[in-house]
Structure 1
Amino acid sequence: MSLKINLAQGESILIGKAKVQNGGSGRCVLIVSGSENVLREKRIMREKDAITPVRRLYFLTQSIYLADDKPVLFDLYHQIAREAVAAWPILTGPITDIGELILVERYYDALMACHGLVDIERELMGETAEETQK
């Protein structure tokens, strides 16, 4: 099965470990076939931006999603998950759910669930999206 991706001018995407960017002057359409993981630019978190407990959890979940050898990262994931729960006990249930998604190898679903927690953490910290992107 193929995945059809529309990229805006300058937008990039990760396909496996390769970053692909639309360098043209308009939109482009990519058809991706195969088993590589795909992640749009707006969902990619850089390590230097993983500065809070939940953002570190997101970055590690992203790393698991993109990794070839996922089990190597599981112990670190559990450590970071404990830190996130310690910082935000109210998020214990959702963080547990994310861990269960990882256990059943639904890595993309875990990543998207974790993305929602980043937004919740931002609200708990009283930040706006614009402040976070600075």
Structure 2
Amino acid sequence: MTKSMHISLKAGEKLFLNGAVFQADRKVTLELLNDATFLLESHVMQPEDTTTPLRQLYFVAQSLLVDPANADAARRLFFRHLAALMTTFSNPAILLNLDAVGRLVSEGRAFEALKALRGMFPQEEVVLACTQPHRAA
């Protein structure tokens, strides 16, 4: 049996649901009565925010939810990008988390993969800061 889920939106907030975009004109709570693929606007990354490798992977993964009609192509791109990152990063924690993210996407759990990727952004910032050349003052 499928559990229902309540989603609260503020006025003007968008919800991406099964490829459709809804915008609330006032504060509203929706109850989803069946399984649906959705993303809240606050979790949607814009192209201009894809400034790091993990953010780029997140952007590709989110397209699995935002554009389900093209999910097969997005999934192939996701795994190509993931493979490249697995050879680029050497940080054991990031590699372990990337492996988990790949498993989540393989299992059709893209929303959970996005959550895991968001949690990795601070780690990535530290790693990237350590690899940047230091500038003389």
TM-score range normalised by the length of the shorter chain: 0.7 to 0.9
What amino acid sits opposite 1:115 in the alignment?
R
Q: Rg bigger for which structure? A: 2
Q: Which runs of 5+ in 1 are unaligned?
A: 127-134
Deviation per CA, 1:55-99, whole angstroms, max 9, x where unpaired?
Answer: 011011111234245333333112211333344321111101111
Give CA deviations for 1:76-130 in whole Å, capped at 9, x if unaligned.
112211333344321111101111112222222212111212232234445xxxx
Q: Of residues 90, 109, 114 in structure 1, which corresponds to 2:112?
A: 109
TM-score, L = length of structure 1: 0.76
Is residue 19–residue 65 contact of structure 2 (8 Å, CA) maintained in 1?
no
In structure 2, the CA distance between the partners of 1:86 and 1:51, relative to structure 1 (3 Å rule), is farther
- Report the Cα offset of residue 45 of structure 1: 0.9
Corresponding position of 2:89:
88
Does the Cα contact within 8 Å between 2:15 and 2:21 map onto a contact in 1? yes
Kindly report structure 1 stretches of 4+ aligned residues shifted beyond 4 Å. none
- Counterpart-to-counterpart distance in 2, 1:119 and 1:19: 29
Q: State the Cα distance separating 1:8 from its structure 2 match.
A: 1.9
% of aligned pairs identical? Answer: 23
- 2:28 equivalent in structure 1: 28
Gaps in structure 2 of 5+ consecutive residues: 130-137
TM-score of the pair, normalised by structure 2: 0.75
**Matched-pair contact (CA < 8 Å) for 2:19–2:69:** no
Match of 1:59 in 2: 59
Q: Tell me if structure 1 keeps the 8 A contact 2:16–2:38.
A: yes
- What's the CA shift for 1:52? 1.5
CA RMSD of aligned residues (A): 2.2
CA distance in 2, matches of 1:54, 1:30: 31
Query: 1:58–1:118: 8 Å Cα contact kept in structure 2?
Result: no
